[in-house]
Every structure is written in C-alpha cells, then in structure tokens.
C-alpha cells in the first residue's frame, strides 16, 4: 500500500540509512535519501517532501541546520520533520524542537516505533490536505457565477487588471468583448424567469464552446451582461470572434416546455495593442469603451457588433 506522502531521509551513516530506507519502503512509503543535510536540502529545494527524517550529527550540514533551513522559507505544504538522535537528554530534545523538528526518535531506532510515529505525522498531513481541498472548493465557489457556471464579478475585478497589466508589460495584444442578450426582459415577461435562467445558462454554454480553452474567459458582468476576455488577440481577430459568437447565439435554440425560444445578442469590442513606454492603465477605461460600443450596437438595431481600438 503506497501513500501520498514521500519521505526524504538525511543520514550520513550508510548502514542506518539503508536500514531506514528498507523499513519505510516495506511500510509503503516512497523514499529518497541523502548522505548529509546539505545534500538533503538541495533535493528538497527541487522537490517537495512532506516528511523528513534527519539524523542530528552529519558532516557539512547537520540535522539542526537542516531543520532551520527548511523552516526559514515558506513551503508548498507543511513539512513534518523527525530528528533522529543518539542524544535523549531533555536539553537536547528542546534544542531539536526549537530548531524546527516536530518529533524525535532515539538511536538505535525501533522499527515499529518509527512506523507508529509516522502515523501521527500522516494524521496531521492528511488534515492539512483536507483543509486545502475545502479551501479550494470555497475559492472556486467564491469566483463562480452560481447560475451560469462562468466566472463572476469578483473574479473579473481581480483578474482583468492582471491580464491587462501582463499584456502591457509584454507588449501583447488583448481584447475585450462586452455582450448583452437582446430584449432579455421580454423573455422573462413572456416565458417566465425559469425560461430566462435557462437561456442565460445556454447563452454562456454557446459562448464557451467558441472560446479557446484555458486562454479566453467569460465573466458575468451583471444581469444578462457578460464580459469576454481574449488575451493575445488583436482588434481585428476579436471582431471576427465576436461575429462567430453572434452567429452562434442567433442560430441556437432553447427548448422550453413546448416552445422553441430564439435569442440574439449585441456585442461591443475593444482591442488594445500596447506599445513600448506605456505604463499600466486602469482596466475600467477599457471596460468603459467596450460598454460604449455595446450601447452603440444596441442603438443601431441589436444583433450586431460594434467596436473600437483602444488608444492610451
Ligand atoms: Mg550521523
């Protein structure tokens, strides 16, 4: 039985090192070992280990120094450190714990004690993992629009400025498309809010189908208005994308009860190509331009696209 918590061993004595490796592998742990603290720390910097078993007395870098080095910088997760030592005076134990060890084992180590102590480490690491999973679930909920499953305003506010700053920094084009379902109020009035909700969900689904996975993203701006972010996309390509979206929305049908509901949407595009010497600017002004183009598309009859190039 293999578990998800690999162990890094630091031990200068080859015989005890081999014995520890064997014991741990038999107990189902993946093990990597090093002949001293410095070597162990080098391995650790390249690959994270949630459990470290370290000898105290070693050349180059001893167990206490290794504990301190690990604790000095933040790591991707908690590292449970066992200090293995021949010393078992109270004073030595305190020194070890103060250096950052979580527990200690005295030499010569007893196999069943080692395995039992490791189980206490696993309980803590598993608790940490379940907290992380719960946190990730909450984080996803907090940035997702509950009805449509796309990003919400919170996400948009946080990430749009980052996207625009990145584009500005690396002189990459970026475009925004603001879109709004035409006469949405009428749908709610004619068919009821359940139909309206279904249309919002379908609308987002149709748009997502046309976007590039992991690059483009869509967030609900409010009501039936959505913002689509197209990184690495210049104005002309964004206009083409918007046309593809417009066409897809107008051709798709939502079946509700015994009716087929058709909708159209209007689009406002703004494209930005940063040039050298520009500093980051507030993303609100780009949203504002997209919004104005959308308003123009509405005014000129809906089911159409209007756009402009953003100039700083
Ligand atoms: Mg030693």
User: Residue 1 falls within a domain, yes or no?
Assistant: no
User: Residue 145 falls within a domain, yes or no?
Assistant: no
* SS3 track for 39-104: HHHHHHHHCCCCEEEEECCCCCCCHHHHHHHHHHCCCCCCCEEEEEECCCCHHHHHHHHHHCCCEE
Q: For residue 9, what pLDDT is reported? A: 97
Q: For residue 68, what pLDDT is reported? A: 96
If you measure from the C-alpha of residue 165 to the centroid of ligand 1, how many angstroms do you get, rounded to a whole number?
52
Say if residue 253 is exposed, middle or buried (CB neighbours under 10 Å; 0-12, 13-18, 19+): exposed
Q: What's the token pair of residue 112? A: 């069943």
- DSSP assigned state of 224: T
pLDDT more than 70, % of the chain: 98
Q: For residue 154, what pLDDT is reported? A: 94
Q: For residue 280, what pLDDT is reported? A: 62
Query: Does 127 have pLDDT greater than 70?
Result: yes
Pick from 106, 135, 164: which residue ends a domain?
135
Residues marked as catalytic: 224
Range 22-45 average pLDDT: 96
In three-state secondary structure terms, 89 is: coil
What is d(CA 291, CA 268) in angstroms, rounded to the nearest whole number?
6
Query: Does 48 have pLDDT greater than 90?
Result: yes
How far is CA 37 from each of CA 30, 34, 69, 245, 249, rounded to the nearest angstrom? 19, 7, 9, 58, 62
pTM across the whole model: 0.73
299 and 172 within one domain: yes
Residue 17: pLDDT band (50, 70, 90) is: very high
160 and 130 within one domain: no
User: Residue 147 falls within a domain, yes or no?
Assistant: no
Domain coverage including residue 110: 7-135
How far is CA 67 from each of CA 14, 26, 109, 202, 306, rounded to the nearest angstrom? 21, 26, 20, 54, 61
Q: For residue 155, what pLDDT is reported? A: 96
- DSSP assigned state of 231: E
Q: Tell me: the pLDDT tens digits for 153-162?
A: 999 999 999 9
170 and 303 within one domain: yes
Q: For residue 92, what pLDDT is reported? A: 86
245 and 285 within one domain: yes
If you measure from the C-alpha of residue 92 to the centroid of ligand 1, how many angstroms do you get, rounded to a whole number?
15
What is d(CA 235, CA 17) in angstroms, rounded to the nearest whole number?
62
Contact 73, 98 (CB under 8 A): no
Cα atoms in the 13 Å half-sphere on the side-chain side of 154: 8
If you measure from the C-alpha of residue 15 to the centroid of ligand 1, how many angstroms do you get, rounded to a whole number?
11
Contact 73, 51 (CB under 8 A): no
If you measure from the C-alpha of residue 27 to the centroid of ligand 1, how many angstroms do you get, rounded to a whole number?
23
Percent of the chain that is helix, strand, coil (3-state, to 5): 50, 20, 30
Q: For residue 279, what pLDDT is reported? A: 66
Average pLDDT in the chain: 93
If you measure from the C-alpha of residue 55 to the centroid of ligand 1, how many angstroms do you get, rounded to a whole number?
6
If you measure from the C-alpha of residue 70 to the centroid of ligand 1, how many angstroms do you get, rounded to a whole number?
19
Which residues pair with residue 225 across a beta bridge? 180, 222
Q: Chain-centre distance of CA 230, in angstroms?
A: 19
What is d(CA 37, CA 55) in angstroms, rounded to the nearest whole number?
8
If one counts the domains in the chain, the total is 2
- Return the higher-pLDDT residue of 22 and 279: 22
If you measure from the C-alpha of residue 11 to the centroid of ligand 1, how many angstroms do you get, rounded to a whole number?
6
User: Residue 95 falls within a domain, yes or no?
Assistant: yes
164 and 94 within one domain: no
287 and 162 within one domain: yes
User: Residue 284 falls within a domain, yes or no?
Assistant: yes
User: Residue 31 falls within a domain, yes or no?
Assistant: yes
C-alpha triplet 222, 226, 228: angle, nearest 5°: 145
Q: For residue 125, what pLDDT is reported? A: 95
Q: Tell me: the pLDDT tens digits for 74-87?
A: 999 999 999 998 87
Q: Tell me: the pLDDT tens digits for 185-237?
A: 999 999 999 999 999 999 999 999 999 988 999 999 999 999 999 999 999 99
Burial 157-181 (b: 16+ CB within 10 A, else e): eebbbebbeebbeeebbbbbbbbbb
If you measure from the C-alpha of residue 59 to the centroid of ligand 1, how many angstroms do you get, rounded to a whole number?
8
Pick from 100, 135, 170: which residue ends a domain?
135
């Amino acid at each position: 039985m293999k578990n998800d918590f690999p162990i890094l061993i630091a031990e200068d004595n080859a015989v005890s090192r081999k014995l520890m490796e064997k014991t741990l592998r038999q107990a189902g742990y993946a093990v990597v070992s090093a002949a001293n603290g410095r070597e162990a720390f080098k391995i650790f910097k390249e690959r994270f280990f949630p459990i470290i078993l370290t000898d105290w007395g070693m050349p180059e870098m001893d167990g206490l120094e290794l504990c301190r080095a690990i604790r000095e910088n933040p790591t991707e997760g908690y590292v449970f450190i066992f200090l293995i030592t021949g010393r078992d005076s109270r004073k030595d134990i305190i020194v070890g714990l103060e250096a950052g060890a979580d527990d200690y084992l005295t030499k010569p180590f007893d196999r069943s004690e080692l395995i039992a102590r490791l189980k206490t480490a696993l309980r803590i690491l598993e608790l940490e993992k379940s907290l992380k999973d719960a946190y990730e679930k909450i984080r996803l909920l907090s940035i997702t629009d509950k009805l449509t499953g796309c990003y919400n305003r919170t996400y948009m506010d946080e990430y749009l400025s980052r996207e625009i700053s990145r584009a500005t920094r690396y002189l990459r084009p970026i475009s925004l498309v603001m879109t709004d379902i035409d006469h949405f109020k009428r749908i709610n009035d004619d068919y009821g809010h359940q139909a309206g909700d279904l249309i919002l969900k379908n609308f987002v689904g149709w748009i997502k189908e046309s976007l590039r996975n992991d690059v483009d993203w869509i967030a609900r701006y409010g009501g039936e208005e959505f913002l689509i972010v197209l990184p690495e996309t210049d104005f002309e390509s964004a206009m083409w994308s918007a046309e593809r979206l417009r066409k897809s929305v107008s051709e798709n049908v939502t079946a509700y009860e015994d009716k087929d509901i058709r909708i159209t949407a209007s689009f406002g595009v703004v494209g930005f190509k940063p040039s050298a010497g520009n500093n980051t600017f507030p993303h609100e002004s780009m949203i504002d331009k997209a919004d104005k183009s959308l308003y123009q598309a509405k005014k000129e009859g809906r089911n159409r696209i209007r756009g402009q190039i953003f100039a700083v």
